[in-house]
A and B are shown apart, each in its own frame.
Chain A
Amino acid sequence: EPEVTQTPSHQVTQMGQEVILRCVPISNHLYFYWYRQILGQKVEFLVSFYNNEISEKSEIFDDQFSVERPDGSNFTLKIRSTKLEDSAMYFCASGTSVVETQYFGPGTRLLVL
């Protein structure tokens, strides 16, 4: 069964450094999402992406964040200058349409020191 994959599974970085989290969505999906989950808390929406454009973003997704689909298979989340509070699990998700189910990847655990 097709799955969303994410790399790396874990990343440790110094405050102020840039990080890029990578995702390979399910191949026939057109809608892509990033969510994050701070330890012990609920999953929070960051951004949705369709047709090479951001279609919706939350107040968390400020100017330090950006997303890109650099080729036909990868979907990336970049954090330009990481802060301590960016430490969280970051989940990529994808779906076939805006009203259908979103399938989640296994996540990248980001630790900012």
Chain B
Amino acid sequence: GQQLNQSPQSMFIQEGEDVSMNCTSSSIFNTWLWYKQDPGEGPVLLIALYKAGELTSNGRLTAQFGITRKDSFLNISASIPSDVGIYFCAGRLAGGSEKLVFGKGMKLTVNP
């Protein structure tokens, strides 16, 4: 129903490499948000997407709202050690719901 499938679940990369992650669902979303969470901390907003097809960048981060409104991806270019953390996608379902539905997260490890 309202599940978000986030993949991959984890990635181990070398500093300087690019990384991509995505979230898919069988449900339609009005908003996609990407958050980063460090251990013991709250989710910190990275990018917000509000329109189908929207492509938005924030420094080395780029995210897109899928045209079908059922998916979104996040790319990180030229990774650095401080990119380490857990990345969550979150979406607000079409139909007026206020709640955010979260993916299970992707744990990123960057080797210097």
Q: Which residues of A contact B (CB under 8 A)?
A: 4, 6, 31, 33, 35, 41-45, 48, 55-56, 58, 91, 98-107, 109
Which stretch of B42-50, B52-60, B64-72, B76-84 is in the interface? B42-50
Tell me if A55 and B42 are in contact (CB < 8 A): no
Is A99 a contact partner of B92 (Cβ separation < 8 A)?
yes
Specify which chain A residues have a CB less than 8 angstroms from the CB of B44 in the assembled complex. Answer: 104
**Interface presence of B27 (CB below 8 A):** no
Please report the C-alpha to C-alpha distance between residue A48 and residue B99 in the assembled complex, in whole angstroms. Answer: 7
| B101 interfacial contact with A, CB 8 Å | yes
B31 at the interface (CB under 8 A from A): yes
Bound Cα distance from A55 to B96, whole angstroms:
11
Interface size on B, residues (CB 8 A): 24
A-B contact count (CB 8 A): 55
Contacts A41-B104, A109-B40 given: A103-B45 contact, CB under 8 Å? yes
Does the CB pair A104–B102 fall under 8 Å?
no
Given A91-B43, A101-B33: A31 and B98 within 8 A (CB)? yes
The one of A41, A45, A100, A103 in contact with B101, judged by C-beta atoms closer than 8 angstroms, is A45
Give me 24 A-to-B residue pairs in the complex whose CB atoms sit less than 8 angstroms apart, sorted by A's number: A4-B42, A6-B42, A31-B98, A33-B100, A43-B43, A43-B88, A43-B90, A43-B100, A45-B101, A48-B98, A48-B99, A55-B98, A56-B97, A56-B99, A58-B99, A99-B92, A101-B45, A101-B48, A102-B100, A103-B45, A104-B44, A105-B42, A106-B41, A106-B42
Q: Are A104's CB and B43's CB within 8 A?
A: yes
- Write out the residue numbers on chain A whose beta carbons fall within 8 Å of the beta carbon of B97: 56
